Structure 1
Amino acid sequence: MAITSDLRDDGIRVVTMEHPPVNALTVQGWYDVAAALDEAATDLDTKVVVLRAEGRGFNAGVDIKEMQHTTGFDALIGANKGCFAAFKAVYECAVPVVAAVNGFCLGGGVGLVGNADCVVASDDAFFGVPEVKQGALGAATHMARLVPQHMMRTLYFTARTIKAQDLVQFGSVLEVVPRAELDDAALRVATDIAAHDTRVIRAAKECLNGIDPIDVNKSYRFEQGFTMELNLAGVSDELRDQFAGTDKAKR
């Protein structure tokens, strides 16, 4: 697994997630994403961040298999705290974050993108929060930043996905381009941002966060409380076993 962070000469920092086969991040992976964004926030040479991924899709959320092969609740608590740290780092990054989304963006991926400042996507990109299938709740806070309220509820309750092209009408996705052009599209937006005085842009980021009507950090932590309840009730473990193809009774 690799989370890389490269600062270009023009002040654009490119943070890349690469964790085959589907970019479902381990507990450490979420903390690594958070660390990369925190580094960008404190580095005054960084003017804007492009958050992207290599591989089949942008992000498939939490590594369910890691959770199911760990006894007790350590992996669950680690995933909760790691996701919270990563989402918070994107939202509170001192410079704008441009998300470049390819392929699938599910669960935790929506948490990252929903907290980004600008989203561009490839024509094969789609978004979803299939948490109900695994007995978890979360990222509704962030999906609600991408689609209207009733659409968010429909996607959440049904575990359906929505194409990137359908998000353009809501203004949450700036543009959809062929996959081969995705990085260039993200860099074009980032270049426009980097062209301005970074002192003003950093002030603008703090200002816009300050007038946000929803406290995304508190809202997401509220969701995580229900995930813990479902885990304590045994519901989540049962559904994750089905998803991961494991049977703890046989181990």
Structure 2
Amino acid sequence: MTGSSYRYLERQVQDGVLFVTIRREEKLNAMNDGMMAELTDCFLRIRERADVRAVVLTGTGKGFMAGADIEGYGSFDIGQFFAFQQKGREMYRAIETCPQPVIAAVNGYALGGGFELALSCDIVIASEKAKFGLPEVKLGLVPGGGGVQKIARIVGPFVAKELTMSGRFLTAEEGKSLLFVNQVTEPDKLMDTAAAFARMLAGQAPLAVQALKKLIDEGRDASLETAQAYDRSYLANLFHSEDGQEGIAAFIEKRTPRFQGK
């Protein structure tokens, strides 16, 4: 597999934004081994691309990603099942640690592993038709891609227990009220909204945007004093960067800065 020969992904770069579209519409974009390997490879490659300053991840048809392809579970032994879950974790981690900000444009079902995929991104913009949920309990299982701990940190333990123990689906508006959806749009405006937001991020100073992603993701599990020390360290490094000096000069000269990611 190479970046130019993906079976399940379509990619396109416009104005510094990479659009990654999952294409397995006949299965509501459900994950299998091949798709997980492609998404992992794709996001590991993105970090090396200076021409990409933001990413939009979406799906085709009625599904953003309707979780894992459960039909494959029936033939797994425990070792194969564990290996499948490990590949999923590697996929989510590749997205979480991608330096560039990643926007999930959720067009439809984001269930189980698909919800965990959205939670691995930095911003979630959802269609009014989107549905979110962690329904693994209905299979006698629990989510294995990090969704339990992530949703508990976002909505708190009481709501997280209600959502995961019931396995119920959430609307986009409910997701916004629970703070894991940033914006809700009409279905036909989803991609335009996501693209506009991504282009705005792509126009910011890339080193600063990447630093903010890292500081927020890593700082939330550190003590306040330690996290604030990280902030000051990154600030000092950015001040000495070419972009930092360009931003200050542009402000003083009352012109638009020209950030180069240096």
Which sections of structure 2, spanning at least 5 residues, go unmatched? Answer: 1-6, 223-262
CA RMSD across the alignment: 1.7
1:135 lines up with 2:144 in the alignment? no
Name 1:23's counterpart in structure 2. 29
Task: Give the match's secondary structure for 1:49.
Answer: strand
- Counterpart position of 2:131: 126
CA-CA distance at 1:68 after TM superposition: 1.3
> In the TM superposition, what is the alpha-carbon distance from 1:109 to its structure 2 partner?
0.9
**Does 2:82 match 1:96?**
no
Q: How many residues align?
A: 212
The whole-number CA distance in structure 1 between the counterparts of 2:115 and 2:164 is 12
From 149, 153, 167, the counterpart of 2:175: 167
Q: Give the AA of the match of 1:69.
A: S
Distance 1:21 1:148 in 2: 32
Give the match for residue 260 of structure 2.
none
Match of 2:75, as an amino acid? Answer: H
Match of 2:230 in 1: none
C-alpha distance in structure 1 between counterparts of 2:19 and 2:79, whole Å: 31
- What is the match of residue 78 of structure 1? 83
Per the TM alignment, residue 197 of structure 1 is displaced from its structure 2 partner at its CA by: 1.7
2:211 is aligned to 203
Shift of 1:12: 0.4
Secondary structure of residue in 2 paired with 1:144? helix
8 A contact 1:121–1:177 mirrored in 2? yes
Q: 1:75/1:29 Cα in 2 relative to 1: closer, same or farther (>3 Å)?
A: farther
Shift of 1:96: 0.7
- Name the CA distance, whole Å, in 2 between partners of 1:144 and 1:109: 17
- After superposition, residues 1-251 of structure 1 pair within 5 angstroms as 2-8=8-14, 10-19=15-24, 20-70=26-76, 72-138=77-143, 139-144=147-152, 146-213=154-221
Specify the SS of the correspondent of 1:43.
Answer: coil
Structure showing greater relative contact order (alpha-carbon pairs closer than 8 Å, 6 or more residues apart)? 1
What's the % identity of the aligned pairs?
Answer: 27
- Measure how far apart 1:145 and its partner are: 5.0
TM-score, L = length of structure 1: 0.79
Secondary structure of the 1:136 match is coil
Would you say the 8 A contact 1:133–1:159 is kept in 2? Answer: yes
Is the contact made by 1:121 and 1:173 (CA closer than 8 Å) also made in structure 2? yes
Secondary structure of the equivalent of 1:90?
helix
- For structure 1, the 5+ residue unaligned runs are 215-251
TM-score (norm 2): 0.76
Structure 2 distance, partners of 1:145, 1:89, is 20
Q: Identify the residue that residue 238 of structure 2 maps to in structure 1.
A: none
TM superposition shift of 1:212 = 2.4
- Residue aligned with 1:29, SS: helix
1:37-59 deviation line (CA, Å, top 9, x unaligned): 11112212210110100111111
1:5–1:74 distance in 2 versus 1, CA, 3 Å: farther
| AA matched with 1:99 | A
